Structure 1
Amino acid sequence: MNDYLHNTIPNLKPFNYDHHHDAHFINKPWVLVNGISKKKSIYTFKADNVLEISRKDNVIKTTWNINIQNSFSIETEDGKITVKAFFKDDDILVLNNENKEEFAMYINVSNYDDDINSVEDIQDFLKEKYKKKVSTIIYDHEFYYIEKSKEFGPYKVEVLAEKVNAGDISAYCFVRDVNEHDYSNRMRIEDLLHEL
């Protein structure tokens, strides 16, 4: 992977045929993020190696192929390009051009209720997506809390919320994740509750 791509979008997972191809890639509506402020384009990679590119009332059909090294060849309006595919998450696809320092980012909108037609819509999508992800992580995780110089836990956030609501502990008690060694991040129970 080129350094510029890794520096721009960290923690990318390479395309894995067994994991991604059928479940996350084929027949999914991928909205192109690049240039969305000028025109919206939806890319759908079909199982028969047909690539449909939809723009307003116009649908262009072209071809795509994948080789053994998971490199994709895509026929575009500008000619044939070779790209490597990466996933940021199962619904964020990045195609990195192997011959130039450029990439295209796509969002799978099949599990998203609202239309994505602008940069603001993309920001809303990402905000909602990662808010749900943070809430899930926080909800499933366990935390210690410290009160009057004594440490208690670990507890899940729902248990901490019950203790706060019952008046057993203060919402201003510091907490630390079970994987942290101290309270230096200065997070309080109240901060966890705001993320749920």
Structure 2
Amino acid sequence: MNDYLHKTIPNLKPFSYERHHDSHFINQPWVLVNGISKNKSIYTFKEDNILEISRKDNIIKTSWNFNLQNTFTIETEDGFIKVKAYFKDDDILVLNNLEKKDFALYINTSKYDDELNSIEDIQAFLKDKYRKKVSTVIYDHEFYYIEQAKEYGPFKVEELAEKVNSGEISAYCFVKDVNEYDYSKRMRIEDLIQEL
């Protein structure tokens, strides 16, 4: 079941009590992505093991518990379920049901100005979030490029853009991050420049 989750959502970080519990988890408004188009639900995990689920004008109080194996037990309408928690980013939480091939995805909206009420809102949130993240990462990183079977670099994206503008290299040269081993991602200089 774990393989299914990690293939569907790669690069998940396991919940760490020390790192996540107080700062990222407790008393945070977690909007449930699953089923948002039918019924928006906001989950708030309280310190006293109370889980508040807000839906329109209705608040349901239930319980949750955390154990030493980094698993949670959550009381739902269908009984108790055991889940393992992961973070995609500090504001994206995934609860993987340990008893079946199922997971729930949540977004913390406390640092987001607009409300998430639909799939379209979620798509806009994710697009905006990752565009900012990519721009920051690309701007700060260095890349190698390959031209006529020779590798050059590393260069920052600004330097690569200058080389393209001066005609020194083609915008269609493949690039790789300094931490990557090969060019298998098939990213080109023009892809980097578009994200700036």
TM range (shorter): 0.7 to 0.9
Whether the 8 Å contact between 1:12 and 1:88 is mirrored in structure 2 is yes
Alignment of 1:35-114 (within 5 A): 35-114=35-114
User: Which AA in structure 2 matches 1:97?
Assistant: N
Equivalent-residue separation in structure 1 for 2:81 and 2:182 (angstroms): 50
Name the structure 2 match of 1:160: 160
Name the structure 1 match of 2:123: 123
Name the structure 1 match of 2:171: 172
Structure 1's 173 and 83: CA in aligned 2 closer, same or farther, altered over 3 A? closer
Structure 1's 160 and 49: CA in aligned 2 closer, same or farther, altered over 3 A? same
In structure 2, stretches of 5+ residues that fail to align are none
The worse-fitting range, judged by mean Cα deviation, of 167-176 and 94-103 is 167-176
User: Which AA in structure 2 matches 1:176?
Assistant: V
User: Which AA in structure 1 matches 2:73?
Assistant: S
Name the structure 2 match of 1:20: 20
Whether the 8 Å contact between 1:145 and 1:173 is mirrored in structure 2 is no
Map Cα deviations across residues 6-32 of structure 1 (whole Å, 9 max, x no partner).
232222222111111112111111000
Structure 1's 145 and 173: CA in aligned 2 closer, same or farther, altered over 3 A? farther
Whether the 8 Å contact between 1:53 and 1:61 is mirrored in structure 2 is yes
In structure 1, stretches of 5+ residues that fail to align are none
Equivalent-residue separation in structure 2 for 1:123 and 1:191 (angstroms): 21
Whether the 8 Å contact between 2:32 and 2:41 is mirrored in structure 1 is yes
SS in 2 for 1:34: coil
